[in-house]
Amino acid sequence: MKYFSRCLTLTGLIFSVNYLMAQNPLIRDQFTADPSARVFNGKVYLYPSHDILATPGHGKAGWFCMQDYHVFSSTNLTDWTDHGVIVSQNKVPWADSAAYSMWAPDCIEHAGKYYFYFPAPAKPGGARGFSVGVAVANDPSGPFVSQPSPIAGIHGIDPNVQIDKDGQAYIYWAQGNLYGAKLKANMLELASEPVKLEGFPDKGLKEGPYLFERKGIYYMTYPHVADKIERLEYAMSNNPLGPFKYAGVLMDESASGCWTNHQSVIEFKNQWYLFYHNNDLSPNFDKNRSVRVDSLFFNEDGSIRKFTPTLRGVGVSNATKKIEMDRFSAKSPSGVEIAFLDTLNKFKGWKTIFEKPGSWIKYKSVSFDPPKLKYLNINARSATGGTLLISIEGAPNKIMAKMNIPKGDSWSVSKYKILSTTSGVKNLILQLQSSGNLEVDWISFE
């Protein structure tokens, strides 16, 4: 896990602020799902669900279990700050504090205030099923104060709120199908009767609506169970409440078999991004999920290019920080495996295992700033001993460093002299030159 934290003491309260540095998944010290990403004041804010494992008396074993929400922020999509808990089930006046069902949320800014929308079951005696509540803050990272009651007229999950160019706010939610309504200017009450949104496949569960507008087109994105598990689809319209026209599959069912997916789309510094989730840190239990982000691209006609999830994710990695080659951009078809560093504590992350001479792994977009770095550090171990080479894509014969990893059981950090210095943003290739079995945790330059 690559993060450090500090504690701030303010009027007797302890606020913990964690700084996380990661590719996909983005957050590595807890489970995160259902990402709603937003750009506020030039920063990206991430409002995910917070999956935990149910324990006796706390949630239902084998099912989704969530008791609160954190918010994270980033200026570069690579380094994320955890601002801590913003809303929890025992601080919402109307919510059942024994339900552990704080499902997919959203947040939006209106007139200088931040409105956080979240689904939760009401206290016994209240509405059945899920209601949608609102908590309000003066800052995107909180503190958020929950409204005394949920929004009247909404029964369902996965709220999503968008404000149109004319200032009219819309709220969307799911209850098997997708629904929408106008919101009043106070952002707390419906201004129109809910309507079932039209234009989506009739069969199969649809949930997680997330609407965005680009060049006058309203894109409704949503997870849909077309076969056995969810995939991401989208539909287009020239009206925020539709009717929509089904436009295709955005992202296929996950290769890992994670049953759910859930998305949000933002434009940040002239690039579009899709946030989604997978079960990277919990391969055997898909209700403990992790948020990811990758770039999203549009075709000339406004349709969205089908999306391929990656481990490398987005952003430029600085060469002087720890680079995890296991979050690779590409690798040789055989001879390289990715595995957990510690199967008993998956939050420790992954390692790359090289097993075949010539096998390689590529990691894109590393910034050599300052340029002409002189040394490479590698945290590695090898049961056999062996030699690794590192080079820059496009210059295979110009070896940056040759690393003779000695035989041994323990992880150790070794320093090697750079043979050929570089500058700018480069794609790195790490390759096993010799035979043997070599494991690499991270590399960094100095």
Catalytic residues: 34, 207
Contact flag: residue 207 with ligand FUB (CB under 6 A)? yes
Nearer to ligand FUB, 156 or 436 (CB): 156
**Inter-CA distances, 406 with 354, 386, 403, Å:** 14, 7, 9
In the complex, the smallest distance separating the C-beta of residue 27 from ligand FUB, rounded to whole angstroms, is 15
Least separation in angstroms between residue 99's CB and ligand FUB is 12
Least gap, CB of 380 to ligand FUB (angstroms) = 37
Interaction of residue 49 with ligand FUB, rule CB under 6 A: yes
By CB under 6 A, residue 34 contacts ligand FUB: yes
Smallest gap from Cβ 84 to ligand FUB, in A, equals: 20
The candidate with the shortest Cα–Cα distance to 159, out of 150, 148, 146, is 150
Residue 103 CB, nearest approach to ligand FUB (Å) = 3
130 makes contact with ligand FUB (CB under 6 A): no
Question: Should residue 157 be labelled a site residue for ligand FUB when binding is judged by CB under 6 A?
Answer: yes
Q: Min. distance of Cβ 34 from ligand FUB in angstroms?
A: 5
Q: Which among 323, 188, 304, 307 is positioned nearest to 253, based on CA atoms? A: 307
Nearer to ligand FUB, 289 or 312 (CB): 289
Beta bridge partner(s), residue 353: 337, 439
Q: Which of 49/318 has CB closer to ligand FUB?
A: 49
Q: Is 208 in the site for ligand FUB (CB under 6 A)?
A: yes
How far apart, in whole angstroms, are the C-alpha atoms of residue 101 and residue 421?
52
Judged by beta carbon, residue 158 or residue 324, the one nearer ligand FUB is: 158
Among 31, 45, 47, 64, contact with ligand FUB (rule: CB under 6 A): 64
Cis ω on the peptide bond leading into residue 48 (within 30° of 0)? Answer: no
Q: Which is nearer to ligand FUB, 262 or 312 (CB)?
A: 262
Cα–Cα distance, 426 to 301 (Å, whole number) = 32
Q: Which two tokens stand for residue 87?
A: 């809303």
Q: Rounded CA gap, 435 and 113, in Å? A: 60
Q: How many residues bind ligand FUB (CB under 6 A)?
A: 12
d(CA 257, CA 142): 35
> What end-to-end distance do the CA atoms of the chain give, in Å?
21
Q: How far is CA 106 from the centre of its chain?
A: 14
Please state, as a whole number, how many other Cβ atoms lie within 10 Å of the Cβ of residue 143: 14
Cβ-based nearer residue to ligand FUB, 33 or 37: 33
Q: Three-state SS string across 293-336, please?
A: EEEECECCCCCECCCCCCCCCCCCEECCCCECCCCCCEECCCCE
If one asks whether residue 260 binds ligand FUB (CB under 6 A), the answer comes out as yes
Question: Does the bond joining 25 to the residue before it have cis omega, within 30 degrees of 0?
Answer: yes
Number of other residues whose CB lies within 10 A of the CB of residue 40? 15
Can you tell me which of 82, 158, 233, 280 binds ligand FUB, judged by CB under 6 A? 158
Smallest distance, Å, CB 261 to ligand FUB? 7
Site string for ligand FUB, 97-116 (x = CB under 6 A): ------xx------------
The CA R_g of the chain, rounded to the nearest whole Å, is 23
292 binds ligand FUB (CB under 6 A): no
State the DSSP code for 252: P
Q: Which of 20, 33, 311, 390 binds ligand FUB (CB under 6 A)?
A: 33
* Nearer to ligand FUB among residue 52 and residue 249 (C-beta): 52
Q: Name the site residues for ligand FUB (rule: CB under 6 A).
A: 33-34, 49, 64, 103-104, 157-158, 207-208, 260, 262
